[in-house]
Amino acid sequence: MTMAPGPVAGPVQLSPPSRGSNRASRWSQAVGRELTTVAITMFGLLLVTFLIARVIPIDPVLAVVGDNARPDVYENARIALGLDQPLWRQFAIYVGKVFTGDLGTSILTAQPVLSDIKRVFPATLELATLGTIIGVALGIPLGVMAAVNQGRWPDQIARFVGLFGYSIPIFWLGLMGLLLFYAKLGWVSGPGRISVGYQDFVNPVTGVILLDAAMQGEWDAFWNALSHLILPSSVLGLFSLAYISRMTRSFMITELQQQYVIAARVKGMSELRVVWRHALRNALVPLITVIALSYANLLEGSVLTETIFAWPGLGRYITNALLNADMNAVLGGTLVVGAIFIGVNLFSDILGRLFDPRTR
């Protein structure tokens, strides 16, 4: 009996993966790499701060119990602080406390360091944000003007402003600003964050006085706080302006020499559109990183500016803690500064991916 031949099976056709799945896979890989980098960096930051606390010639036990403590009190405090444990175990305890928000207790304020940082950081945030806004609003147009007029007098002015902002000592500029605009002309308020008469007007909700005053409708306190903020933020803004304008000029000179700019000009496109819509748009990708790093530098606490203007911010808090051997506060502030840099760098990388399709 003859069997009828069955259908011949052809090769199996595998459908290619969809574009959406490839994109999702690439994004997930990118997120994984970023998170791994952040985790490694944070681990290194924790290790460095832990080792700093162990190698500095300051006994943390004496900082707690005092120089005249009895030997048994000293030993009990040493055991309570975990300093009798092996070094690896001390590091494990330290990491565990950090991840639970326990940065220790400040000797100066007798308060948890994390609570102190939450109290002083909004002042630095307010100061750094306005300083960065000034730097970006003036620095980018100045850098673009210098690049378009390379070698001519606008370029010379921009380069002089950049050199001036880099070279002049901040403490001298702050003192001269107080002498001229506060003591002589009376255009701005003096040191401090707000006048004494307005301190009880604003309930600290976010800690940012301008925002809290505006939310609560306390406009007299708002304008008083702004008057205190203008001068120190302008000092920081000049430093930020110098850095941003210089980098903008460099990026724009590179972009204006590219082939697409020459082609746009040959096609008759207006110079304004070529410069601001095309060249600046491409220069914006590396410029985001520059602005982010400038902002992070101001957020870490500009020590001299906050000291001169009696600004109760993070930089002044860390400086006072260091001068008084308050190592819990110093190391807690150092961790916060490191976390700020990590977070701002991560955020700038994300913005760079959004603005530059080549990275996607």
Share of the chain above pLDDT 70, in %: 87
pTM, two decimal places: 0.80
Averaging pLDDT over each range in 16-25, 93-102, 132-141, which range is the top one?
A: 132-141
Under DSSP, the state recorded for 197 is G
Backbone angles phi, psi at 112, to 5 degrees: -55, 140
**Cβ pair 297, 310 in contact under 8 A:** no
Name 110's Cβ contacts closer than 8 Å, sequence gap at least 6: none
Confidence of residue 134 (pLDDT cuts 50, 70, 90): very high
Q: Which residues is 105 bridged to in the sheet?
A: 112
- CA nearest neighbour of 187 among 196, 197, 195, 179: 179
User: How far are the Cα atoms of 138, 157, 249, 305, 310 from residue 152, in angstroms, in the given order?
Assistant: 19, 9, 13, 34, 41
* Number of neighbouring beta carbons within 10 Å of residue 171: 14
How would you classify residue 250: left for phi > 0, otherwise alpha for psi between -120 and 50, otherwise beta? Answer: alpha
Q: Does domain 115-359 have CATH number 3.40.50.300?
A: no
- pLDDT, tens only, 35-75: 788 788 888 888 888 887 777 766 677 766 666 777 777 77
CB 224 within 8 A of CB 195: yes
